[in-house]
Amino acid sequence: MSSEDASPSTSATISGADLAAAAERRLQQRQAPSPSELQFTGAEHELRQKFRRLIDPGILRPNAEAQALASLKTLLTISENLLNDFENPRFRQFKPTNTLIKRNLIDPKGTVEYARELGFYPEVKDFQPYYTFNPRKKDNLRIGAEILRAQLDLFAEKEARAAQAKKDEKAVAAAAAEKVRLAYEDDRKMKMLHDELEKERRDARTAAAARRAAMREAAPEVTSNQEDDEEEEEDLMPGSGNVLGLKPSSSVPASKKTD
């Protein structure tokens, strides 16, 4: 077996579930503090750990994965908009009645708690509810955005691995189907060759039988001719038509006359 034939079966042993589980383990490992993070002050390290816990289990556990992903993206958008244009009052607050905000921040579990830890607190202005950012929480906003970004990167990596695993499974399935097709074609060709050889054998046997029959039909005629020749030889005795003691050309001499 060639290496090309061996590779599909080897790939088949690595299922999409295995790859997804590996990505999940890597995600959990990366949620633990890295050596570089140990250089942070105790307060900042604790804050990072708190944000991680607010995501997992806080947001990921009670919500469907698709909803949790949408909520994390919305939280990151709010954070980055404010970090990129910190003096813009438009980005310092959001209304909980906004359709997108309600769907991705207010209704899901654990998302409002994350927004509050970022520095957005509820208040009422002109009888309208808002979540307004506290400028003293800028460090929270920066750290919380970093944790969100890292988590979304892990999600993207996990999805890419799952997509690749699915693609590999399809490739393995396609290779297996191609092998089955080729085997079927080989069997069909072998059957056609066998049928052709069998036909040639039958034709050869038929021709041989016809030759033997023709020889048997010709054999009695040859035997009859031989018997006729033998009978003719028996009818002809030796010296037939001759008188014994006489030459065929001589005749009886005439008697002399006496005086």
pLDDT tier for residue 6 given thresholds of 50, 70 and 90: very low
Provide the token pair at 19. 């790859």
Residue 51 included in any domain: yes
Q: Do residues 54 and 113 touch, judged by C-beta distance below 8 A?
A: yes
**Strands of the sheet with 120-125, listed across from one edge:** 93-94, 128-133, 120-125
Residue 55 included in any domain: yes
Residue 9 included in any domain: no
- Looking at this protein, which amino acid is placed at residue 168? D
Beta-ladder partners of 133: 120
Predicted confidence (pLDDT) per residue in 153-211, tens digit: 998 898 888 888 888 777 888 888 888 888 888 888 888 888 888 888 888 888 888 88
Residue 247 included in any domain: no
Residue 31 included in any domain: yes
The DSSP string of 58-70 is TTTTTS-HHHHHH
Lowest mean pLDDT among 23-27, 123-127, 237-241: 237-241
Q: Do residues 119 and 134 touch, judged by C-beta distance below 8 A?
A: yes
In this predicted model, which residue has the larger pLDDT, 247 or 10? Answer: 247
pTM of the entire predicted model: 0.54
What gap in Å lies between CA 95 and CA 75, rounded to an integer?
13
Q: 36: domain range?
A: 15-178
Q: Average pLDDT in the 53-78 region?
A: 96
Residue 156 included in any domain: yes
Instruction: Output the average pLDDT for the chain.
Output: 79
Q: Can you give the pLDDT at residue 9?
A: 41
Residue 49 included in any domain: yes
Residue 32 included in any domain: yes
Predicted confidence (pLDDT) per residue in 87-142, tens digit: 999 999 999 999 999 999 999 999 999 999 999 999 999 899 999 999 999 999 99
Instruction: Say which residues have a Cβ less than 8 Å from residue 134's Cβ, sequence separation at least 6.
Output: 119, 120, 121
Indicate the number of domains in the chain: 1
Q: Indicate which CATH number applies to the domain containing 157.
A: 1.20.58.2190
